[in-house]
């Protein structure tokens, strides 16, 4: 991959028109290329056979069609999860996870290489921040997913911005990627089938709400007291629970969309009756749903997942307070499908 070449996925259709006109090509060629990339989903510019061969050669000399090179691919033993490592053009590494839930096929995509937030139980947080992903690098993970599923006669139904990194830390590129993914002339995925997950960036949640976005919001909560949440998630120092919940209430008041709160169940840490009772109070008067999931193991955190009985008790406490709760299955444990785990193993 030539680092001096421009990534076609990083430019919009207007910029593509300008680039083609500079090559002496008519403007309508941009629409042909755009259609081939985002609707036909070619992964090689030479496959755009309705373009003259001379133009395809010129394009290949100036552009790349993507920045991701497949480094490793693992499939879970139950065949429900595929996790891949991609190498970027500067040798950074990211992860993408494709999951099958009966009729749904969901891809979990990264928005950063590494993460600056340092959540203690997260393998990505443990490795630190390397850089933001570009718009094209985010979108390319979605295109890869469509191609992968097309090979087995399936189609992508849902997207979650919940892989490596904090999407709201890379706010501008994440939003531009969402626009590209949802554009009817591009991929055309409905915003209602897309979830953006945040570790609790309250300012960005408010900005996201006020901008009129239609995507679903998921907030990684994991603790119902500031003391514990700060221990687990350093972002809580900047945006303590009161500030975060005010932002969540604002989001709901504007969008009227239910918020999902994520809760990794850690044995003896956040699975106690005290934590569940305080969580019920915290989530009172907000339309929400809680996803609880047994902790995924990581090398640099000694915590372990809660027992099945404690998880059921936790769920029952929430539901008795009128808060919907789902115990989410852990997917791909045998292939290190938790955020950052496969990359950590590869780096070792």
User: Whole-angstrom Cα distance, residue 142 to residue 194?
Assistant: 11
Query: Would you say 336 and 342 are in contact if contact means Cβ atoms under 8 Å apart?
Result: yes
Cα-based distances in Å from 150 to 109, 136, 306:
18, 21, 37
DSSP one-letter string for 121-165: T-HHHHH-EEEEPPHHHHHHHHHHHHHHHHTTT----EEEE-SSS
Torsion region of 239: left, alpha or beta (phi above 0 gives left; psi -120 to 50 gives alpha):
beta
What is d(CA 316, CA 216) in angstroms, rounded to the nearest whole number?
Answer: 25
Pair of tokens at residue 255: 């969008």
Residue 44, token pair as written in the block: 């090689």
On whether the CB atoms of residues 312 and 265 are closer than 8 A, the answer is: no
Which of 115, 248, 280, 339 is catalytic? The answer is 339
Q: How many CA atoms lie within 13 A of 65 on its CB side?
A: 19
Q: Which residues contact 182 (CB under 8 A, 6 or more apart)?
A: 188, 189, 190, 191, 194
The single residue of 95, 130, 166, 215 carrying the catalytic annotation is 95
- Catalytic site includes residue 95: yes
What is the spatial distance between Cα 222 and Cα 125, in angstroms, rounded to a whole number?
15
Place of tokens 């300008």: 18
The question of whether 273 is a catalytic residue gets the answer: no
For residues 226 and 236, the answer to whether their CB atoms sit within 8 Å is yes
Q: Which residues are catalytic?
A: 95, 339
């Amino acid at each position: 991959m030539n680092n001096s070449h421009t990534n076609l996925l990083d430019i919009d259709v207007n910029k593509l028109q300008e680039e083609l006109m500079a090559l002496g090509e008519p403007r309508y060629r941009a629409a042909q290329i755009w259609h081939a990339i985002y609707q036909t989903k070619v992964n090689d510019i030479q496959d755009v056979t309705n373009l003259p061969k001379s133009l395809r050669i010129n394009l290949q000399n100036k552009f790349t069609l993507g920045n991701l090179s497949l480094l490793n691919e693992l499939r879970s033993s139950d065949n429900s999860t595929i996790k891949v490592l991609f190498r970027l053009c500067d040798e950074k590494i990211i992860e993408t996870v494709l999951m099958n839930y009966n009729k749904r096929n969901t891809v979990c995509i990264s928005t950063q290489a590494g993460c600056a937030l340092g959540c203690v139980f997260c393998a990505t947080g443990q490795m630190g921040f390397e850089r933001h992903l570009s718009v094209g690098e985010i979108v390319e993970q979605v295109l890869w997913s469509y191609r992968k599923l097309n090979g087995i006669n399936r189609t992508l139904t849902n997207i979650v911005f919940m892989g490596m990194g904090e999407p709201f830390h890379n706010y501008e590129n994440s939003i531009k990627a969402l626009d590209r993914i949802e554009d009817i002339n591009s991929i055309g995925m409905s915003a209602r089938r897309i979830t953006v997950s945040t570790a609790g960036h309250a300012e960005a949640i408010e900005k996201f709400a006020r901008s009129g976005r239609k995507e679903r919001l998921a907030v990684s909560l994991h603790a119902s007291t500031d003391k514990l949440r700060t221990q687990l998630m350093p972002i809580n120092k900047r945006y303590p629970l009161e500030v975060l919940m005010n932002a969540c209430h604002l989001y709901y008041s504007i969008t009227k969309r239910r918020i999902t709160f994520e809760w990794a169940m850690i044995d003896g840490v956040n699975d106690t009756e005290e934590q569940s009772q305080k969580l019920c109070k915290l989530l009172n008067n907000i339309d929400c749903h809680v996803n609880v999931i047994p902790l995924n193991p990581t090398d640099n955190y000694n915590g372990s997942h809660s027992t099945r009985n404690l998880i059921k008790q936790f769920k029952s406490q929430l539901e008795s307070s009128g808060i919907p709760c789902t115990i989410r299955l852990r997917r791909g444990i045998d292939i290190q499908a938790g955020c950052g785990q496969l990359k950590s193993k590869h780096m070792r």
